[in-house]
Amino acid sequence: MSNYLQRMNMYQKEMFPLPLNLALAFLMCFSFYFLFGIINGIGQKGFSFILMTGALNIFLLTLILRLMDELKDKDIDILLFRERSLPSGRVSEKDIRFSLYIAIAVFLIINILYYKTFIFCLLLLGYSLMMYKFFFMPGLLRKHLLLSLITHNPVTAVLLFYLMILFSAENSIKFSNINWGKNIILIFMFWSLILAWEISRKIRSNEEENEYETYSQVFGRVGAAAVVIIIQTFTLAAAVYFYFHTSLSFIFIILTGAGYVYAMYGNIRFMLYPNPVTSKLKPFTVNYILCFFAAVITEQIFNIIR
């Protein structure tokens, strides 16, 4: 057991830093919870069991998907990414599977404690398992990155819908009383942040391309960056919409806009000068996400001070 813990400790530092991903899960859940409260006219309650449940579910689902990806992509990793933990042999497939079973068990136990939304927990887990099986079309999805994105990435929307149902149940909001229009925009706003991150991390310059399919191969270098720009612009547009239709302050738009400008700088720089340095768009996307979270947290602080 001690050897297993040592190997998985090494794995998490390299492939899935636990403190960082736990912090990001709490930031995402807190931000969604706060904006959900504003949209639906609910007074903010601070930290609660439900908020903790939502954050842990984001963290655990992300971990489950990461471990599943290790098993799904092991053959590709052996060919193209032999330095990674599993193909290099520093962790074994048995280690990954055992960790996956533990993560799924904890995920189920946490959600059993809140039975009102347990069916949505099973929906999330079922969707994840379908992704693990490539929706029973491995030959097709492995060959078409865009089709894989279309079938896999909506798990984020399902997760956000689960959070909406969780917070609605906590505040005794009936389905018929949910402001579906604004809540759907809220879900798409958060989803767009993750979607842009997913695409930006698989964009390469000509010199970097190999057998691993990227979005720059699918859309072209300019086209791939343009897709990221369109998605990130939607995030900003949704933030502006909520600024005009809720009680959000101007600081929310300033901080979100700052992240957007920084992301646009990275995208446009790559479009104009595509090379192995400018192709690293993921950090720009991550900073945009962090600016958005910072905008929500700052807004919450202002609400407390008022």
Per-residue pLDDT tens over the stretch 119-149: 888 999 999 999 998 888 888 888 889 999 9
Write the pLDDT tens digit of every residue in 9-37: 999 999 999 999 999 999 999 999 999 98
- Residue 283 pLDDT more than 90? yes
Residue 295, pLDDT score: 96
Question: In this predicted model, what pLDDT tens digit does every residue of 166-216 receive, in sequence order?
Answer: 888 888 888 777 888 999 999 999 999 999 999 999 999 999 998 888 999
Range in 41-55, 201-215, 254-268, 292-306 with the lowest mean pLDDT: 41-55
> Sorting pLDDT into bands at 50, 70 and 90, what band is 284?
very high
Residue 1's SS3 state is coil
Which pLDDT belongs to residue 46?
Answer: 62
Q: Residues of the chain with pLDDT > 90: what percent?
A: 68
Task: Pick the closest to residue 230 from 269, 274, 200 (CA basis).
Answer: 200
Domain boundaries, the chain: 1-178, 180-306
| CATH level 3 topology of 1-178 | Tetracycline Repressor; domain 2 (1.10.357)
- Mean pLDDT calculated for residue range 267-296: 96
Would you say 195 and 156 are in contact if contact means Cβ atoms under 8 Å apart? Answer: yes
pTM over 0.85: yes
Q: Which of 166, 77, 86 is nearest to 120 (CA)?
A: 166
Give the pair of three-digit tokens for residue 142. Answer: 């492995």
Encode pLDDT of 76-127 as tens digits: 878 878 888 888 889 999 999 999 999 999 999 988 877 777 888 899 999 9
Count of other CB atoms within 10 angstroms of residue 272: 10
pLDDT > 80? residue 1: no
Query: How confident is the model at residue 32, as a pLDDT?
Result: 95
Residue the block writes with tokens 């391309």:
209
Question: Is the Cβ–Cβ distance between 259 and 213 less than 8 Å?
Answer: no
Spatial separation of the C-alpha atoms in residues 295 and 272, rounded to whole Å: 30
